[in-house]
C-alpha cells in the first residue's frame, strides 16, 4: 500500500471517529435522561462547565507552569457579573451576549491584575499568593452588602434570568419537531457549543508561538528570557487568557443555577479544578477534558452507591455518605498519584519524562 493511500485511510478513520463522536454528543442528553433521569443530565451540564474551567486553568498551570490556587476567583467574577446585570437585584436585565462577554472581560482583567504583582514569584510562593487572591474575592463577595448592598452578602443573588436565545428562554421546556427539550437539555447544547469553542481556542494557543513560549517558560524561565522571550508579557497572557475561560464558565453557571452565593466559590473548588488537570494529564487537552469529566461524575456515582450499599450490608448507616464519598475519592486520588503520576491520559512528552525518571530510579537501585 502506498504512503498516500495510508494517509487517506488514516484521514478516513479520523473523520469517521469525529462523526461518531459528534453523533454521540448530540444524543447524549436523551440517552442519559432516558436511562437515569434529568438530574443526571444536569450533572453532565456541570461536567461541561468544569471542562471549561479546567482548560482555562490548564493554560496557567499546564502550559506556562504557574501554580494557581485561586482560579475559582475568576469563576466568581464571571458569575457575579452575570448575576448583577441579569436579575432583580439592581433591576437590570441585560441580554446574555452582553453579560457573558463582559464577565469574561472582567475576569481576564482580574487575571492580569493578579499576574502583575506576582511576576517574580514561582512555586510555593506563587501558590500562596494566588490562594490569597481567591479567598479575598470570596470574602469581598460575602461582605459587599453594606454600607451599599452590591452583592447581597452571604444571602447571594437569586432569581437570575436564564439565557434567552432568539426570544426563547433556556429556562423552560420547548417542543421542536415533536420532540420535547427540557431546560437541562437546552443548556447542555449551549454548554457543549461553548466548550468546543474553548477547546479550539486552547488548542490553537498551544500550537502557536505563544504556546511554545509558555512551554519554554515552564521548562526554564531563565533560558526562555535568554532566548529573547518577554517573560512578563507571556505570564500576563497566561493569567489573562486562562481567566477568560473561567469568566465565561462563571456567567453560564449563574444563568443555569439561577442563584449565586460566596459558598459556591470556596478554596475546595480551586483544588478540585487543579486535581482535574493533574489527574487527567497536565498540559494535554484530551487528558484535561477526561480528568474534568471523571472528577465531576465519579463523586456523584459514589454518592448514589455508598448509602444503599451500607444499608444493604449492615442494615444501617455507619458512615455519613458524604464523608465516605470524599474519603473514597481522596483515596482514589492518592492511589492514582502513586500508580500513574503522569495522569490518566498524559501527553507523549510528559509520559516520556516520567518514564525517564523511572528508568533513572531503577538504574540507581540496580
Helix, strand, or coil (residue 176): strand
Cell of 81: 457579573
Q: Where are the beta strands (DSSP E) in 119-178?
A: 157-158, 164-165, 168-169, 174-176
pLDDT value for 338:
84
pTM for the full model?
0.92
Distance CA 46, CA 253 (A): 8
pLDDT value for 335:
85
Q: Which among 33, 23, 161 has a CA at the least distance from the CA of 95? A: 161
Q: What is the pLDDT of residues 92-126, one digit of tens each?
A: 999 999 999 999 999 999 999 999 988 888 888 99
Q: What is the pLDDT of residues 205-227, one digit of tens each?
A: 999 999 999 999 998 889 999 98
Distance CA 261, CA 151 (A): 9
Q: Which residue is listed with cell 478513520?
A: 13
Distance CA 114, CA 265 (A): 17
Percent pLDDT > 70 in the chain is 94
Residue 33 confidence (pLDDT) above 60: yes
CA count, 13 A, side-chain hemisphere, 197: 11
Cell of 292: 474534568
Q: What is the pLDDT of residues 128-143, one digit of tens each?
A: 999 999 999 999 999 9
pLDDT value for 158:
93
Q: Which residue is listed with cell 498524559?
A: 346
pLDDT value for 359:
67
Distance CA 34, CA 29 (A): 8
The residue among 362 and 94 whose pLDDT is bigger is: 94
Beta bridge partners of 168: 165
Amino acid at each position: 500500500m502506498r504512503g498516500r493511500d495510508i494517509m487517506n485511510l488514516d484521514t478516513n478513520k479520523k473523520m469517521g471517529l469525529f462523526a461518531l463522536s459528534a453523533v454521540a454528543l448530540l444524543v447524549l442528553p436523551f440517552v442519559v435522561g432516558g436511562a437515569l433521569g434529568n438530574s443526571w443530565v444536569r450533572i453532565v451540564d456541570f461536567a461541561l462547565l468544569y471542562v471549561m474551567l479546567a482548560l482555562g486553568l490548564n493554560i496557567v498551570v499546564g502550559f506556562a507552569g504557574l501554580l494557581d490556587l485561586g482560579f475559582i476567583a475568576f469563576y466568581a467574577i464571571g458569575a457575579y457579573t452575570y448575576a448583577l446585570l441579569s436579575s432583580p437585584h439592581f433591576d437590570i436585565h441585560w441580554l446574555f451576549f452582553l453579560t457573558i462577554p463582559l464577565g469574561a472581560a472582567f475576569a481576564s482583567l482580574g487575571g492580569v491584575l493578579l499576574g502583575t504583582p506576582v511576576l517574580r514569584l514561582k512555586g510555593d510562593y506563587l501558590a500562596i499568593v494566588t490562594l490569597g487572591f481567591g479567598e479575598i474575592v470570596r470574602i469581598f463577595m460575602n461582605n459587599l452588602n453594606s454600607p451599599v448592598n452590591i452583592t447581597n452578602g452571604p444571602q447571594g443573588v437569586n432569581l437570575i434570568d436564564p439565557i434567552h436565545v432568539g426570544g426563547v428562554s433556556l429556562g423552560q421546556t420547548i417542543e421542536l419537531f415533536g420532540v420535547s427539550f427540557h431546560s437541562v437539555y437546552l443548556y447542555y447544547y449551549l454548554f457543549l457549543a461553548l466548550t468546543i469553542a474553548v477547546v479550539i481556542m486552547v488548542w490553537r494557543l498551544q500550537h502557536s508561538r505563544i504556546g511554545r513560549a509558555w512551554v519554554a517558560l515552564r521548562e526554564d524561565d531563565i533560558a526562555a528570557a535568554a532566548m529573547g522571550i518577554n517573560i512578563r508579557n507571556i505570564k500576563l497572557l497566561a493569567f489573562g487568557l486562562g481567566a477568560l475561560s473561567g469568566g465565561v464558565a462563571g456567567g453560564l453557571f449563574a444563568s443555569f443555577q439561577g442563584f449565586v452565593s460566596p459558598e459556591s466559590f470556596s478554596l475546595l473548588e480551586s483544588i478540585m479544578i487543579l486535581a482535574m488537570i493533574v489527574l487527567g494529564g497536565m498540559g494535554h487537552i484530551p487528558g484535561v477534558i477526561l480528568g474534568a469529566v471523571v472528577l465531576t461524575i465519579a463523586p456523584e456515582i459514589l454518592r448514589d452507591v455508598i448509602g444503599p450499599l451500607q444499608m444493604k450490608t449492615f442494615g444501617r448507616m455507619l458512615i455519613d455518605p458524604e464523608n465516605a464519598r470524599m474519603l473514597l475519592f481522596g483515596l482514589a486520588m492518592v492511589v492514582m498519584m502513586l500508580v500513574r503520576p503522569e495522569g490518566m491520559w498524559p501527553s507523549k512528552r510528559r509520559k516520556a519524562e516520567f518514564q525517564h525518571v523511572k528508568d533513572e530510579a531503577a538504574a540507581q537501585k540496580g
